[in-house]
Amino acid sequence: MDLPTSDIHKQAVESFDTSSLLTNAARQRDARNYAAFPIVDVDCHHYENESISEIVKYIDDPVLKQMGMLYTSGGTGGQTPFNPGLVGYQDIAGRVTRYPLRKTETTPADDKHRDVHLSLRWMDAMGVDYVCLFPTPMLSLGLHPQAEVEAGLAKAYNRWLLENITAKEDRIKTMLYVPFSDPEAAYETVQEFGDHPDVIGFMIVSVRYHAVHSNPYMKTYALMEEIGKPLGFHSNYNWNDRLVGNSNRFLVTHALGFTVYNAVHICNWVVNGLPERFPKLKTVWIESGLAWIPWVMQRLDNDYKMRWSEAPSLKGLPSDYMREMYYTSQPMEMPDRKEILQMTFDMIKADTQLLWASDYPHWDMDVPSVIYDLPFLDENEKRRILGGNAIELFDLDVSSRFPNYKAA
């Protein structure tokens, strides 16, 4: 196919293959001997919209299911009943070529789903042993005006994913999509799937306008705590947001959006004393990078000391609670002055709390060398951040790849 570029230079592409695109990642893998230790990617994606015709068959509600079947069999025009319709172009108008070319990639017609084949290709190239797989367009579903659509689609997606993807590949796990717009459905989802062995945690998409400290959610958090699996908040952008979308460049709505939603949720989580109410429920803040954490820590600590009466459940500084939380690394900011990053690592206790994530195949993905090549980490710290911390947090069984694995 021809990729349109600036008008005089088109680029013809004969074929596209993930393994070829990631040849240099495979070279990094071999040069750094990643085979010597487990690498766990806590945040990667597939495009569940490409399988939506399979997913809608799992919807319970007959009316919603009929609507879904109609939409996936050809649609009725430009509209969709599922996606709240985010404007954006993460691919930088085709410059990140895996977006426009992904549909041309071929996969074997066997009993493994295409998404399993594609995932294993990039995992093997990067040297990744296990992943936590998340959807892509559904990361915006928290904005859907119909809570019942998020609930219905989430349940269908969770069933479909566990039956067709994770069940077919031991190296792929997931944190369960929790339909947070409907507190009862959220509770039922955790109840129904929480014990599933391929569910390593629970995931709330952060881009939404629901307060995490609202009473209707307390029984769900209590259930998650009882099950003993972590709760992740996965961020996203939202160009329709009146504040963080108030820019004419995607760069801004992305740079701010991916941090601000998680910043709001973490502030509410901490000042309402939820870490005291659910002391065994571990939280993971996903895909906001790292630079926002020192900012929020300092702002909260400063205000807390003046306004203690508004956060009376806390038994320490907000930053003390934040230091006990977990953070995924991607998209990791790479300041020229490495001491800035080193200070951030110190502030979040990166050696135990930081979890490497690729976010592959999305445009701002990170390869493992972003951690492995940091000059201020020793080998043990690198291995912990690239896999060891996640193995402990999720109690991940890595015996299929590392039968003799022992925590460092």
Partner 1 sequence: MAREILVGKASDFKEGDKKIVPHGKNSEIGVYLVHGNWYAYANLCPHQGGPACEGLLMAKVEEVIAEDKTYQGMRFNHDEMHIVCPWHGWEFDIADGQAVADRKWSLRKFDVELRGEDVYVLA
Instruction: Give the interface with partner 1 as residue ranges (CB under 8 A).
Output: 3, 5-9, 11, 21, 23-25, 27-28, 92, 94-98, 363-367, 369-370
CA pair distance 102, 87, nearest whole angstrom? 20
Token pair for 371: 């951690």
Residue number with CB closer to partner 1 (97 or 136): 97
CB crowding 111-142: b at 16 or more within 10 Å, else e: ebbbbbbbbbbbbbbbbbbbbbbbbbbbbbbb
Q: How far is the CB of 22 from partner 1 (least distance, A)?
A: 9
Q: How far is the CB of 91 from partner 1 (least distance, A)?
A: 8
Smaller CB separation from partner 1, 58 or 372: 372
How many Å apart are CA 370 and CA 142, to the nearest integer?
31
CB nearer partner 1, residue 105 or residue 366: 366
CB 153 within 8 A of CB 50: no
Shortest Cβ 363–partner 1 spacing (Å): 7
Closer Cβ to partner 1, 3 or 167, answer by number: 3
Measured from the CB of residue 23, what is the shortest distance to partner 1 in angstroms?
A: 7
Q: Are 235 and 264 in contact (CB under 8 A)?
A: no
Residues listed for the chain: 408
Q: What is the C-alpha to C-alpha distance for residues 24 and 219, in angstroms, rounded to an integer? A: 47
Amino acid at 5: T
Choose between 5 and 380: whose C-beta lies nearer to partner 1: 5
Task: Give min distance, CB of 408 to partner 1, in A.
Answer: 25
* CA gap 132, 42 in Å, rounded: 5
Q: Which is nearer to partner 1, 122 or 160 (CB)?
A: 122
CB of 333 to partner 1, least distance (A): 13
Is 23 or 33 the residue whose CB approaches partner 1 more closely? 23
Residue 2 dihedral angles phi and psi, to the nearest 5°: -95, 130
Contact 256, 289 (CB under 8 A): no
Strand, coil or helix: what is 40? strand
The DSSP code for 4 is P
Distance from C-alpha of 121 to C-alpha of 115, rounded to nearest angstrom: 10
Residue among 96 and 311 whose Cβ is closer to partner 1: 96
CB of 11 to partner 1, least distance (A): 5
- C-beta of 256: minimal distance to partner 1 in Å? 19
At 298, phi and psi to the nearest 5?
A: -70, -40
Contact in structure between 268 and 211 (CB atoms under 8 Å): yes
Closer residue to partner 1 (CB): 47 or 250: 250
Residues 200, 175: contact at Cβ < 8 Å?
yes
Residue 133: alpha-carbon gap to chain centroid: 8
**Least distance to partner 1 from the beta carbon of 371, Å?**
11
